[in-house]
């Protein structure tokens, strides 16, 4: 076993999970904000790079502070952010989320409890799972930032009648898939498995039948056939054809190309956060649930329960918003009608994002 493999085994194993609990983390509830934007999977150095380039919604790089996140993966972050100890804060908060882990029990993630997930409307002043209605499977399979921004603006302007005084909006970008490189991502998202096709450990074909993955190779493009064949030949059971960081590790993708696409996804979401800043009066924070490891301590991507700083030290940016009235979005139908859509294909969306 080489040093990198040994480091990864320690960092992501039982010892790593134990050490992860000792990291002096800060919940978003411990900071001051009116609207808090979670930019899923954003590294601190990526945010500082975008700030140095002069993005209008960001301060200079010296204005990008940091905090230690409560988790190294989205479900872990939700489990600790929405723990019972924070019920009072949550009761006066609107949570708008594009992350489908909100609907998952997550028993498979060893660092989560059985007290928090799945989330429900009773947990928050307003709870809107935007991914249920606004997910797309056009080029890439994800939820673009625009509908989350619209919901956040509409809720903030109507916060008094809705009985909330804060909005927490969980965007999916800069998390993969990347809008600029759709050819890297195969198939539609599996909301429970986020793009990861796993073999049944017992060799039972029933698992594949349950997935209802009925492919006719004649209907696939050349690129899709090659991607499927490459995956079938892979010997890394924990890998994911939709996880670009593991593909960088394996030499399938160039680091520079993936970083450019990652940066473009950040600009995609920050461009939309700019709409929050010009349509909402108040303190607007930008942070992340976790980063992405790029080989630090032998770790790649964002496994849960991992104390690696590249995963746990995330950006913290605060800007003052001013409502200039540049847009006037309506409240999402589920909030306006007082309903929550159930029975959406959660299984077909948690895959293109690369989880499991």
Rounded CA gap, 306 and 13, in Å? 8
Tens-place pLDDT, residues 67-124? 999 999 999 999 999 999 999 999 999 999 999 999 999 888 889 998 999 999 999 9
Q: pTM value?
A: 0.81
Choose which CATH entry (1.10.3470, 3.90.25, 3.10.450, 3.40.720) describes domain 3-348.
3.40.720
So where are the chain's domains? 3-348
Tens-place pLDDT, residues 291-343? 999 999 899 999 999 989 999 999 999 999 999 999 999 999 999 988 544 44
Distances (CA, A) of 30 to 27, 68, 120, 273: 6, 12, 23, 22
Q: The tokens 């302007």 sit on which residue? A: 157
Report the share of the chain in percent with pLDDT over 90: 68
Distances (CA, A) of 180 to 10, 124, 290, 349: 35, 35, 22, 20
Structure tokens at 133: 């209605």
Q: Give Cβ neighbours of residue 106 (< 8 Å, ≥ 6 apart).
A: 75, 79, 112, 117
Rounded CA gap, 85 and 30, in Å? 12
């Amino acid at each position: 076993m080489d040093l990198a493999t040994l480091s990864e085994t320690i960092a992501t194993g039982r010892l790593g999970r134990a050490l992860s609990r000792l990291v002096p983390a800060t919940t978003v509830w411990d900071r001051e904000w009116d609207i808090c934007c979670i930019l899923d999977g954003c590294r601190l150095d990526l945010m500082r790079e975008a700030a140095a380039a002069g993005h209008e919604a960001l301060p200079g790089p010296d204005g990008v502070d940091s905090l230690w996140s409560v988790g190294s993966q989205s479900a872990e972050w939700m489990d600790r952010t929405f723990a019972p100890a924070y019920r009072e804060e949550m009761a006066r908060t609107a949570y708008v989320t594009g992350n489908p882990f909100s609907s998952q029990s997550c028993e498979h993630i060893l660092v989560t409890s059985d007290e928090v997930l799945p989330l429900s409307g009773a947990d928050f002043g307003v709870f809107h799972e935007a991914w249920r209605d606004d997910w797309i499977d056009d080029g890439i399979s994800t939820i673009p930032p625009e509908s989350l921004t619209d919901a956040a603006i509409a809720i903030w302007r109507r916060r008094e009648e809705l009985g909330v005084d804060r909005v927490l909006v969980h965007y999916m970008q800069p998390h993969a898939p990347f809008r600029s490189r759709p050819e890297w991502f195969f198939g539609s998202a599996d909301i429970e498995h986020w793009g990861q096709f796993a073999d049944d450990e017992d060799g039972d074909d029933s698992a594949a039948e349950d997935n209802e993955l009925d492919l006719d190779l004649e209907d696939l493009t050349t690129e899709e056939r090659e991607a499927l064949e490459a995956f079938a030949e892979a010997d890394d059971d924990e890998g994911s054809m939709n996880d670009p960081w593991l593909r960088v590790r394996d030499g399938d993708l160039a680091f520079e190309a993936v970083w450019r696409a990652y940066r473009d996804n950040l600009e995609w979401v920050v461009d939309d956060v700019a709409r929050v800043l010009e349509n909402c009066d108040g303190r607007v924070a930008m942070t992340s649930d976790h980063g992405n490891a790029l080989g630090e301590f032998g770790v790649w991507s964002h496994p849960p329960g991992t104390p690696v700083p590249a995963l746990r030290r995330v950006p913290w940016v605060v800007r003052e918003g001013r409502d200039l009235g540049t847009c006037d979005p309506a409240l999402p139908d589920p909030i306006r009608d007082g309903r929550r859509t159930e029975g959406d294909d959660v299984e077909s969306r948690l895959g293109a994002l690369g989880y499991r």
